[in-house]
Copies of this chain bind each other. A is one copy, B any other.
Amino acid sequence: MEANKLWRFLVLLTGVAMISLVSWLHLPSLSNKEVLNCNLYSGWCISKNRFYSSARPKEIKNPSSSDHQSEIPQHPLDPLTVQEFNRVRTILSSHPLFKSSSSYTLNSVVLEEPDKKLVQKWRKGDPPLPRKASVVAVVKGVSHVLTVDLEISMVVSHETGSSSGYPIMTMEDMVGVLEVPLKSSEFNRSITKRGVNLADLACLPISSGWYGTPVEENRRLIKVQCYSKEGTVNFYMKPIEGVTALVDMDRKEVVAISDDGQNIPVASGANTDYRYSIQKLNGELRLLNPISLEQPQGPSFSVDGHLVKWANWEFHLRPDPRAGTIVSQVKVRDPDTSKLRNVMYKGFTSELFVPYMDPTEGWYFKTYMDAGEYGFGLQAMPLDPLNDCPRNAYYMDGVFASSDGTPYLQPNMICIFESYAGDIAWRHAECPITGLKVTEVRPKVTLVVRMAAAVANYDYIVDWEFQTDGLIRAKVGLSGILMVKGTTYENMDQVPEKDYLYGTLLSENIIGVIHDHYVTYYLDMDVDGSENSFVKVNIKKEETSSGESPRKSYLKAVKEVAKTEKDAQIRLKLYEPSEFHVVNPLKKTRVGNPVGYKLVPGGTAASLLDPEDPPQKRAAFTNNQIWVTPYNKTEQWAGGSFVYQSKGDDTLQVWSNRDRPIENKDIVLWYTIGFHHIPCQEDYPIMPTVSSSFDLKPVNFFERNPILGVPPNLDEDLPVCKAHDSA
């Protein structure tokens, strides 16, 4: 087995750079089991040149997921197993492309989903569908896409990328470039000139975007900027402003060093360390008695492999290196027929766009696309039990491939839990006007599926929340640490009227730069079947005719079925409102309404950048809030398959502008949540979470309120609890 070859990567955190020394050691043979057991190594452990944190952060009992070695797929959409990853490696190792090349990277190895129609037909107990892997590899600077058939142990398809851009970076790409600038004495001089000891350097790999310059052609470029970690774990608050290295990612060479020569002082970093161990020393702030979500009879959900069942819901859940969390075959049980009904075939965060609003030399390129560039799932570190998720949460691991194809474990990457905030699912109280004595109230309990991806400084908390009334809420929380800019200013009274800071002075020598966040969701709705239509229900002012009514006006709902894609390119307008329905035009309720789900936007923001600005062109999927496309297996990533250094030739906007028919078709709905973020001092040195969400809500999907029959909480339902220390 390939996995018997194990490489060890030593990371010495001391030395001239944060990642200073790469050492390849040939280790003795280990069983597969040991490959995945990080506890064999201290600190970070590695399969070949791959990092991950040492085992689970705390003891969590998930018996079903404790041993990934023997896992076999139970469902056609289950992710590749450890054994399957290893078979992919074996198959690839004998393929001419990799045999003949001394250096290559596997940028992505994931399940190639079987045909949607086959998956839809498949039932538990049926023979398993043939398993395939989709592999993206970079060989000598060229991107290859291969399909590996695990049944017949063969590469059955092999193409080279046709659009601009490169595949998602590997973790090894990101880490590997960090030491490169240190080979440059020019770079080192720029650092030391600013009073920073090279031993205190912490550097970040910053995707360089694409700006149409000759230097960008035919090579993978990345920018490296550094910080001082002297005195704080929060090095982000100590930027070494004005120094940027442009690095060739494949050759690991410095292309250029940029130094603005301003020698802006590095901020002191005082009081920026946010760790509790440090706060305890400074005097902790204990505001609250313990509070906990308790379920003495245990949670109400079950997880069988990747199949989650809860209340009236059933869905498939899998971790993905690029999307993070993928929910599939989302079905809800109809209380009238007791049958499961399809709602959504697949939903995930397809792409992110995070443009910073500073056009100057050291900042203009910061226009991140976190899923396609960094891997939203790759950056989802283990969740902290009791804090990231409440008690009784179930934790699902990710099993991903490192750049040589070796599988590794991303433990506790997703959690699943029931939430009860004290909210009300429905209620009515009669009042004395009617003289009836009725008060009926039902508490609202939901199921949350959560992932938290920390793409370097920023933390994205990505929730899928299911309500018993049929509503699905997709929610994004932003926390983590700001990307800040060094400045000579220590107080706003030093700033001349004319000087625009591109942000807010947060502390002495620190500016929080204005930026946006966009998270674009892929929502393959299948409302009671695959053939659906998108209907705008426009809410329009109608004037009454003279003498018709004492009223002059009222609002009228006017339905407009989108025939082609351009009919469904939608910018939200408060004063031209619509509801956005995905209906099954052939399936009607008893009284004749087409069954449907509606998209309900929440608070959001729109990108205002010039559509021809290179970053906006690459992120053209943010040009509208809503899009609808016909289902096409290859159109899943809103910024294109190859986003890194892409030119914007393969975006959702490009596909949608083909203006294909979408009426009564298998359609995909796209929605973008946006945030404008003008930083404020409260975001320093670590940000309180800001959230936004949208809902997918049944609209004439059920015959009536589907949770009419649920009981209220009664005294005898609730637990009897004692404080831990008096137990």
Proximity bits, A21-49, B CB within 8 Å = 1, else 0: 00000000000000000000001100000
Say yes or no: B454 contacts A431, CB within 8 Å.
yes
Proximity bits, A696-719, B CB within 8 Å = 1, else 0: 001111111111111111111111
Say yes or no: A707 contacts B688, CB within 8 Å.
yes
Min Cβ gap A173→B in Å is 10
Question: With contacts A432-B51, A701-B682 known, is A420 near B293, CB below 8 A?
Answer: yes
A726 contacts which chain B residues (CB < 8 A)? 296
Proximity bits, A424-453, B CB within 8 Å = 1, else 0: 111111111111111111111100100010
- Assembled-state Cα–Cα distance A593/B283 (Å): 26
Say yes or no: A550 contacts B678, CB within 8 Å.
no
The A contact surface, by secondary structure, is loop
Question: Can you tell how many copies of this chain the complex includes?
Answer: 2
Say yes or no: A704 contacts B682, CB within 8 Å.
yes
Q: What residue in chain B is nearest A299 (Cβ atoms)?
A: B289
Kindly identify, within residues 390 to 423 of chain A, every residue whose CB is under 8 Å from any CB belonging to chain B: 390-391, 393, 417-423
Question: With contacts A283-B709, A433-B204, A555-B514 known, is A381 near B439, CB below 8 A?
Answer: yes
Proximity bits, A264-298, B CB within 8 Å = 1, else 0: 00000001001110011011111111111111111
Say yes or no: A391 contacts B720, CB within 8 Å.
no
A544 at interface, CB cutoff 8 A? yes
Interface size on A (CB < 8 Å)?
Answer: 217
A661 contacts which chain B residues (CB < 8 A)? none
Proximity bits, A346-367, B CB within 8 Å = 1, else 0: 0000000001011111001100
Name 19 interchain pairs, CB-CB below 8 A, sorted by A: A11-B435, A284-B710, A287-B300, A289-B300, A293-B420, A294-B721, A359-B553, A364-B550, A365-B550, A424-B452, A424-B477, A425-B689, A427-B452, A429-B459, A492-B593, A500-B556, A555-B608, A715-B724, A720-B727
- 6 nearest CB pairs, A to B: A492-B592, A51-B432, A285-B709, A359-B549, A421-B421, A387-B441
Residue in A279, A290, A491, A710 whose Cβ sees the most chain B Cβ within 10 Å = A290
Min Cβ gap A309→B in Å is 11
Q: Which of A118-126, A317-325, A466-474 contacts B (4 or more CB under 8 A)?
A: A466-474
Partner of A608 from B541, B593, B601, B602 at Cβ < 8 Å: B541
Proximity bits, A676-703, B CB within 8 Å = 1, else 0: 1010111111111100000000111111
- Assembled-state Cα–Cα distance A73/B361 (Å): 64
A68 at interface, CB cutoff 8 A? no
Partner of A291 from B202, B418, B723 at Cβ < 8 Å: B418
Min Cβ gap A448→B in Å is 6
